[in-house]
Amino acid sequence: EAGVAQSPRYKIIEKRQSVAFWCNPISGHATLYWYQQILGQGPKLLIQFQNNGVVDDSQLPKDRFSAERLKGVDSTLKIQPAKLEDSAVYLCASSLEKAQPQHFGDGTRLSIL
Amino acid sequence: SQQGEEDPQALSIQEGENATMNCSYKTSINNLQWYRQNSGRGLVHLILIRSNEREKHSGRLRVTLDTSKKSSSLLITASRAADTASYFCATDYDYKLSFGAGTTVTVRA
């Protein structure tokens, strides 16, 4: 089966600019996750979707981050405006259902200048 | 905040040796999972152990769980160069995973 696809792989922007990341989960996976992984740390959950509804966004900085999952398939994560502390790898994952093992994409490495 | 804490932070072993890493956590869990991450790649699921299980095996991997001590261990036997990676424990509570900071394992040829 095809894995979780993410694009772009790398992005460099200046602070206060905006950026968007795209994720295509494994076909048939109902649950989709976005994580932020800062260098040297484990992934931190930003938002979790079940089909196209938000299950948990308690750790999403909603003043600058937004995410949507259209038609319960692809998802986009946006940051506007970016801050220096947003430099990280943004990982997308999906699972058949919640509480199932998660399958991760290779992430987007974001650098803020 | 990250619930799991792995120990040690880094581990260097010779090919063929065993590697053991530990994970401690603070709250109740439904299950505990271990993931591997190669440099520049996403995480790969290795094994899931439920809160009512004490030990689980998968190939060269052995995971134990002690809920009374809120701790887990991952043993990789007969390590290979390809096992060089970061290993993360993740606790599942209320269908959400909380990851630790990971153990970086280097296997020397």
B23 touches chain A (CB under 8 A): no
Note whether A107 contacts B: Cβ–Cβ < 8 A.
yes
Q: Quick one: pLDDT at residue A70?
A: 84
**Residue A2, min C-alpha distance to chain B (Å):** 14
Q: Under an 8 A CB cutoff, do B102 and A107 touch?
A: no
Give pLDDT, residue B93.
Answer: 86
Nearest C-alpha in B relative to A105: B42
Query: Which residues of chain B are within 8 Å of residue A107 when distances are taken between CB atoms?
Result: 41-42
User: Are the C-beta atoms of residues A10 and A90 closer than 8 Å to each other?
Assistant: no
**pLDDT grade for B1, boundaries at 50, 70 and 90:** very low
Q: How far is CA B76 from CA A2, B18, B65, B69, B79, in A?
A: 28, 6, 15, 22, 6
At B64-99, the pLDDT tens digits run 999 999 999 999 999 999 999 999 999 998 888 999
Instruction: Specify the pLDDT at position B89.
Output: 96
Backbone angles phi, psi at B99, to 5 degrees: -100, 150
Question: In the numeric block, which tokens belong to residue B33?
Answer: 């999972």
Consecutive 10-residue averages of pLDDT for chain A (113 residues): 94 98 96 96 96 93 96 94 97 91 97 97
3-state DSSP assignment of residue B53: coil
- Enumerate residues 6+ apart whose C-beta is below 8 A from B59: none
Looking at residue B17, its pLDDT comes to: 98
pLDDT value, residue A77:
98
Query: Distance between CA B104 and CA B86 in Å, rounded?
Result: 4
Question: Is residue A25 within 8 angstroms of chain B, CB to CB?
Answer: no
Q: Please give the share of chain B, as a percent, with pLDDT higher than 90.
A: 90
Query: In sequence order, what are the residues at sequence separation of 6 or more whose Cβ sits closer than 8 angstroms to the Cβ of residue A106?
Result: A6, A9, B40, B41, B42
pLDDT of residue A78: 98
Chain A residues within 8 A of B35 when measuring between CB atoms: 104
DSSP A101: P
